[in-house]
Amino acid sequence: MLRVQERIVGHACPPGRFVRRGAGWRPLPLPVRVFVLDHPEHGKFLWDTGYGPAFWRATRNFPARLLRWVIPPRLLPEEQLTRQVQVEQLAGLGLSHFHPDHVGSVPDLPRLPTWVLRAEWQRVQKLPYFQSLHTAHLKALFPTGDLHYFEDLESRVWPGLEILGRGWDWFGDGSARIFPLPGHTRGHLGLWMETGDGPLFAVGDAYYVPEQLDGVPLPAPTRWIVEDARAYQATLDKLAQLRRRRPEVTLRACHEPVSGLQHHG
């Protein structure tokens, strides 16, 4: 079993109508959520990093500065990861994908063993500069050094989770399971956590607001930025089915507008 804490590390502030149908042009602050996992044997791990000061350094000049305008970010001093988490106690880091709101604090952390999807890592590393900006990837924020790959772990299909397909066993005991949730990016990942309060599934950017699971589509501007629209819809359909079949599971999207000071287990 894991003990898990949710933390909000900044906000993305697009116009409301980009995310919710019928909303106006007023900015809608969407939390950027990260997870701190406490494993009884392996120690503390972080899932995603949120925004960090490094994002503002990396986007100081054009054309990278455009990323501040497409989806305006906000990071209050008290929201910085290093003020909320004792990063020197972390044993490792896992990343769902490589967009700035998920890797924006990587350069501000100590060098940690970092777990990524090899196929996605190799893909985004090869993107030419302007194509990487077009797909919202800032290579200045990417991890360096001690990389590990989920594909090298044991994979299996868990009973009751067949709909999610094969997943990787992060710690080898089933407490943290990595599942592909493609669409938002081609190699986008979700993290299933077994806690004392029941299963918690961090689904990253597989959806933005819960009504998407009820079939309400995203407004066009945000719908256009997904890398694979067909895979994105298939992932939404899987999560909607999972919610119906396993109502005891807590689904938590990165930007879901709920309190970020949650403790599980």
The model's pLDDT over 228-251, given as tens digits with 9 standing for 90+, comes to: 999 999 999 999 999 999 999 999
What pLDDT was estimated at residue 260?
A: 53
The pLDDT of 15-37, averaged and rounded, is: 93
**pLDDT tens readout for residues 86-97:** 999 999 999 999
The residue count for the chain = 265
- In angstroms, rounded to a whole number, what is the distance separating the alpha carbons of residues 52 and 253? 19
What is the per-residue pLDDT for 22? 85
- The mean per-residue pLDDT over the stretch 31-48 comes to 98
Instruction: Please state, in angstroms and rounded to a whole number, the distance separating the CA atoms of residues 36 and 27.
Output: 28
CA 206 – CA 186 distance, rounded (Å) = 11
| Torsion angle of C-alpha atoms 179, 82, 171, 257, degrees rounded to 10 | -30
- Full-model pTM: 0.97
In the chain the domains, ranked by start, together with CATH numbers, are 3-264 (3.60.15.10)
- Residues 159-171, mean pLDDT to the nearest whole number: 97
